[in-house]
């Protein structure tokens, strides 16, 4: 090692391509000026030749001079040394300008350069607009030069568009029916549900799905029940839990007809008697409901759902196991009676109507029944209209009978045309419940939408506003529309 701290005889400029770090400058007294070749000075007034002036900082070939005279540069600390860049070209041997400090380079640098693998992994976040500004710029710059990543980015953007749909995310109401039909098509049930009970099964299941979705506070949401009575609309306010209690109270009439326990046992509703102390009589739906509401204190909450759902399951199970003859078993409603198959259809209709009332109170989407089930509900109402007309005529609320005919003979009729969902054509006998409606004896025609007709029967719209089209005897049309509204009840 020489006296200046370098290994013997090695010169820094012998290592080509490496960053040159100049050594410390020697003292002036240590420099032997006699060994340094002096340049030839030009004569006065002349210019020196180019070759006569040696290149500064590079010693001539063969000269054994010590380190050339260079400006002194203090040695920088090792941690401040600028990192080498892999693609940076080699620096010339000549002493160049002093490099900028490292902080100056980082201050003007842009976003970090990311590898192809990292950029490809960011495509999903970029499509969702979840990248930072630097990542977004890096990805978009990369997409301009990489075709496979650009194609993938387009596919991901299209997929993101499918996530932002304007359609409802609620399940199709017919999904349950389709799934059950598919299952039963593969393996039929050993004890199938009677066809006339499928509407009740479907509507109770739809209402139960609504009840499972609502929160605890929604059970106390106010619900306005509405029906038609004494030629005017009547309303009653209750809660969601009160509506379910009302449905359970009226379902008890069907359970009594099947020999099952009355769900209102212990509340006084199932053992009502006449004021004179006579034998027990079936209570009307209104009286049963009022008794249940009066006996339920504090007001019912979501706890009422379980006994109501258990009762509906028991009714469906019992009718399925009872055999075909049970369809004609009479179910008393107090003032009138229906065969069991019509009573369950009536209960299905009421489940849908009150399910709609609840859905409006809690802002829940609720669609009408399937076309087949809605058609049966309309058919039941049409078959009940002649008796309703006779009852209103006896009370002086309808026009007199004009042509009495023998039972089973065709009589004057109104053509009821129900359009749209679950629609059809019915001919309503006007003068006698025993007469048969006939197109040949039709004196008027009225056209309504299927859902609109059901709302009229439920007492939710006025008879004056219900008909979309009327033709023929105006009195007959009015009697049919008001008789339809009179079928409604609490």
Q: 101: Cβ–Cβ under 8 A, 6 or more apart, which residues?
A: 80
Contacts of residue 214, defined as CB under 8 A and 6 or more positions apart, other chains included, come to: 240, 362, 364
The percentage of residues in the chain with a pLDDT greater than 90, rounded to a whole number, is 50
**Mean pLDDT of all residues belonging to the chain:** 79
339 three-state secondary structure: strand
Q: Are 455 and 485 in contact (CB under 8 A)?
A: no
User: Cα separation of 95 and 71, whole Å?
Assistant: 10
Taking the C-alpha atoms of residue 446 and residue 434, their distance in angstroms, rounded to an integer, is: 22
pLDDT value of position 278: 39
**91 phi and psi angles, rounded to 5 deg:** -85, 150
Q: What is the pLDDT of residue 16?
A: 52
Place of tokens 């701290």: 5
3-state secondary structure of 72: coil
146-159 tens-digit pLDDT: 999 999 999 998 88
Residue 5 has pLDDT above 50, yes or no: no
Q: Is the pLDDT of residue 205 over 80?
A: yes
Query: What's the mean pLDDT in 398-406?
Result: 90
> Could you tell me where the DSSP H helices lie in 409-472?
450-457, 463-466
pLDDT at 103: 43
Alpha carbons 468 and 278: distance in angstroms, whole number: 49
Please, what sign has the CA dihedral across residues 290, 295, 297, 301?
negative
pLDDT at 190: 80
SS3 234: strand
Task: Kindly report, residue by residue over 352-394, the tens digit of the pLDDT.
Answer: 999 999 999 999 999 999 999 999 999 999 999 999 999 999 9
Which of 19-33, 107-121, 135-149 is most confident?
135-149
Work out whether strand 410-419 and strand 330-332 pair parallel, antiparallel, or are unpaired. unpaired
């Amino acid at each position: 090692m020489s006296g200046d701290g370098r290994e013997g005889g090695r010169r820094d400029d012998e290592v080509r391509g490496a960053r040159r770090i100049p050594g410390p400058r020697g003292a002036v007294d240590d420099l032997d000026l006699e060994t340094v070749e002096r340049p030839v000075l030009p004569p006065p007034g002349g210019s020196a030749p180019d070759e006569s002036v040696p290149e500064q900082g590079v010693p001539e070939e063969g000269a054994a001079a010590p380190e050339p005279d260079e400006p002194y540069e203090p040695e920088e600390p090792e941690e401040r040394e600028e990192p080498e860049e892999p693609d940076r070209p080699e620096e010339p041997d000549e002493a160049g300008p002093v490099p900028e400090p490292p902080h100056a380079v980082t201050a003007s640098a842009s976003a970090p350069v990311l590898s192809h693998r990292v950029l490809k992994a960011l495509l999903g976040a970029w499509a969702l607009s979840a990248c930072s500004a630097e990542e977004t710029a890096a990805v978009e710059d990369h997409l301009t030069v990489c075709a496979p990543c650009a194609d993938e980015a387009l596919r991901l953007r299209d997929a993101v568009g499918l996530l932002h749909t304007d359609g409802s995310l609620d399940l199709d109401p017919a999904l349950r029916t389709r799934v059950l039909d598919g299952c039963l098509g593969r393996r039929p049930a050993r004890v199938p549900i009677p066809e006339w009970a499928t509407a009740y099964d479907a509507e109770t299941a739809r209402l139960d799905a609504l009840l499972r979705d609502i929160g605890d506070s929604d059970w106390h949401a106010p619900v306005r029940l509405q029906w038609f009575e004494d030629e005017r609309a009547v309303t009653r306010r209750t809660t969601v839990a009160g509506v379910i209690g009302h449905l359970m109270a009226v379902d008890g009439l069907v359970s009594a007809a099947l020999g099952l326990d009355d769900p209102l046992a212990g509340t006084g509703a199932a053992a009502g008697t006449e004021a004179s102390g006579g034998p027990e009589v079936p209570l009307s739906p209104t009286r049963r409901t009022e008794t249940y509401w009066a006996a339920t204190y504090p007001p019912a909450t979501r706890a009422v759902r379980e006994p109501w759902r258990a009762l509906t399951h028991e009714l469906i199970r019992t009718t399925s196991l009872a055999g075909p003859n049970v369809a004609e078993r009479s179910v008393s409603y107090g003032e009138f009676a229906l065969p069991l198959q019509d009573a369950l259809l009536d209960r299905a209709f009421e489940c849908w109507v009150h399910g709609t009332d609840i859905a409006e109170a809690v802002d829940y989407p609720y669609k009408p029944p399937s076309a087949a089930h809605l058609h049966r509900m309309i058919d039941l109402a049409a078959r009940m209209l002649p008796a309703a007309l006779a009852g209103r005529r006896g009370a002086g609320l309808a026009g007199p009978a004009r042509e009495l005919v023998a039972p089973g003979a065709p009589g004057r009729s109104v053509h009821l045309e129900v359009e749209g969902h679950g629609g059809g054509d019915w001919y309503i006998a006007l003068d006698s419940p025993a007469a048969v409606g006939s197109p040949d004896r039709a004196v008027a025609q009225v056209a309504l939408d299927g859902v609109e007709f059901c709302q009229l029967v439920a007492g939710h719209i006025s008879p004056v506003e219900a008909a979309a089209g009327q033709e023929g005897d105006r009195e007959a049309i009015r009697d049919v529309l008001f008789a339809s509204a009179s079928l409604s009840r609490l």
